[in-house]
Amino acid sequence: MKMLINVAETVVADALRGMAAAHPELAVDVENRVIVRRDAPVAGKVGLVSGGGSGHEPLHGGFVGPGMLSAACPGEVFTSPVPDQMVRAAAAVDSGAGVLFIVKNYTGDVLNFDMAAELAEDEGVQIAKVLVDDDVAVTDSLYTAGRRGTGATLFVEKIAGAAAEEGQPLERVEALARQVNENSRSFGVALSACSTPAKGSPTFDLPAGELELGVGIHGEPGRERRAMMTSREIADFSVNAVLEDLNPRNPVLVLVNGMGATPLLELYGFNAEVQRVLIERGVPVARTLVGNYVTSLDMAGASVTLCQVDEDLLRLWDAPVRTAGLRWGM
């Protein structure tokens, strides 16, 4: 596999150095692997900290900034960050209003954020935690007990981030984050496997004429493999899998997310089919976001995330945001 890297051992550090050069509004600690809003801590504002393995960019570091995360902790590729990173991030963003940890449901992330919460509280930082577990494809996987955390992480970080930006208290920001997660479901499809820098070759075998329905963002297996399907057929399967579990009564936010190697031409075409299914099922759409946001290195494929929203959640979604990976209204 050809990769635009120096050596596998420095790929995360090299990326962080490049991020620091491109985004002077961020304080990027390459050695300690922490990305922080340069204006943190903001007086009276709840801090939002998330993180996870690298390879899912722009998640999470690309979502640090006004209206979203206060800090992010990148681990090695597909590997959880360590508690020291999270404690350092919490201390950097704590203004005395408390810190919310947003954690995707992967075993390493959960264990390390739990440990970090105890350590941070020992240092006098008030911590709340929200677990994101939106993937409907499988109940348990190689990396999780329960459902995996995937595309809904973006919705949680954006809406909770907007509430924190308004100065809402920790209890309210936490409650909103939980509400978003409880009202979100996702389903992903892989057209090709991803390749990690350390391995230098595909992480699993997916024959050219097949796809994986319900794939995880680390390449974990999904529900089944089938012969290649059309965009229309994939949208039917994916959206119906989400709606069988979510059954929304309110309008929904739609995220049509690329896995890293799928061109926007294909993603927008896939979005047209997703919207068709939602219309056929009588589900009103409030807002739609299309692009590569929660990726899996160079995997070809896409995921669909729906989040049913009320007026308050929609207002917070529309609120201004200015990060490397998501920005509007500023």
- Cα separation, 317 vs 326, in Å, equals 12
Burial of 158 (C-beta count, 10 Å sphere; 0-12/13-18/19+): buried
Smallest Cα–Cα separation from 177: which of 198, 154, 196? 154
Which residue in 45, 56, 147, 158 is the catalytic one?
A: 56
Active site residue 23: no
Active site residue 60: no
Cβ(1)–Cβ(200) under 8 Å? yes
- Cα separation, 49 vs 83, in Å, equals 12
Which residue in 218, 253, 258, 295 is the catalytic one?
A: 218
- Coil, helix or strand for 87? helix
Burial of 275 (C-beta count, 10 Å sphere; 0-12/13-18/19+): middle
Residues classed as catalytic: 56, 218
